[in-house]
Amino acid sequence: MKYMEDHLDMPLAEVLEHVQQRIMEQTSYFGIKTLKSPMDCWVYQEIITSMRPDVIIEIGNYCGGSTLALAHMCDALGSGRVIGLDISHATVDPQARNHHRITFIEGAACDSFDKVKELVGADERVLVIEDSAHTFDNTLAVLRMYSAFVKPGDYFIVEDSICHHGLDVGPQPGPYEAIEAFVAENGEFTIDRDMESFLITWNPKGYLKRIGS
């Protein structure tokens, strides 16, 4: 066990490794294993409270802990619903599976686009959170396809761009490089680094804001 007051001179790289271990081995939400940075989850609620999305599309759900957290944020606001996409939902906890604001769809994100589109109204505000396979090709494909849901002023969040940009984990190239490629080709989105103001984030360059029509 490490205590903050004993490690005030610890390099940030070691802090990230320690937090990663905590996330992967112990972190939960309502008793459900949840592989998320608590700091980023706090930023999510700030965005959701400001944006008031009608729909949150979460791509990659694992046990459903973060999906349930998003639904609880919608509960607190009294509006919104969550669409959860993943190859399989076999590990999703019943608390998430049975929540009235959550709809789960099984299948790869790009293969499931038409199913999702049927559930989203043309005038609805949509927040997209991408946490599926972190390969460059998959992340870029999801960005290109699902960015169509995001309206001006709203957000598309790409998770785990910390891969090889803070932690030596995951594919290389990965989400970080896919984000840069997407923004370079699509002038309607900008990287909002103000969303990283806690300094520690698992999504460096991953908060994309639509600025174009």
Average pLDDT over residues 36-48: 98
The number of distinct structural domains making up the chain is 1
List the structure tokens of 199.
């300094």
User: Tokens 């001179």 label which residue?
Assistant: 9
Classify each residue of 110-130 as buried b or exposed e, where b means 16 or more C-beta atoms within 10 Å of its C-beta: eebbeebeeebeeeebbbbbb
End-to-end CA distance of the chain: 50
Q: Is the pLDDT of residue 2 over 90?
A: no
What would the pLDDT profile of 157-178 be if each residue is shown by its tens digit? 999 999 999 999 999 999 999 9
What would the pLDDT profile of 177-197 be if each residue is shown by its tens digit? 999 999 999 999 999 999 999
Amino acid at residue number 12: L
Q: 118: domain CATH number?
A: 3.40.50.150
- The pLDDT confidence band at residue 143, using thresholds 50, 70 and 90, is very high
Average pLDDT over residues 14-40: 97
Element (H, E) at 48: helix 38-51
- In whole angstroms, give the CA distance from residue 116 to residue 93: 22
Average pLDDT over residues 88-96: 98
Which pLDDT belongs to residue 213? Answer: 73
Q: Look up the pTM and report it.
A: 0.97
- In whole angstroms, give the CA distance from residue 173 to residue 102: 32
- The pLDDT confidence band at residue 104, using thresholds 50, 70 and 90, is very high
Amino acid at residue number 11: P
- Mean pLDDT, rounded, of the chain: 97
Which pLDDT belongs to residue 135? Answer: 98
Average pLDDT over residues 45-60: 98
Residue 109 CB-density burial (10 A; 0-12 exposed, 13-18 middle, 19+ buried): buried
Evaluate whether 67 touches 84 at the Cβ level (below 8 Å): yes
- In whole angstroms, give the CA distance from residue 63 to residue 90: 8
Amino acid at residue number 112: S
- The pLDDT confidence band at residue 106, using thresholds 50, 70 and 90, is very high
Domain range spanning residue 119? 4-210
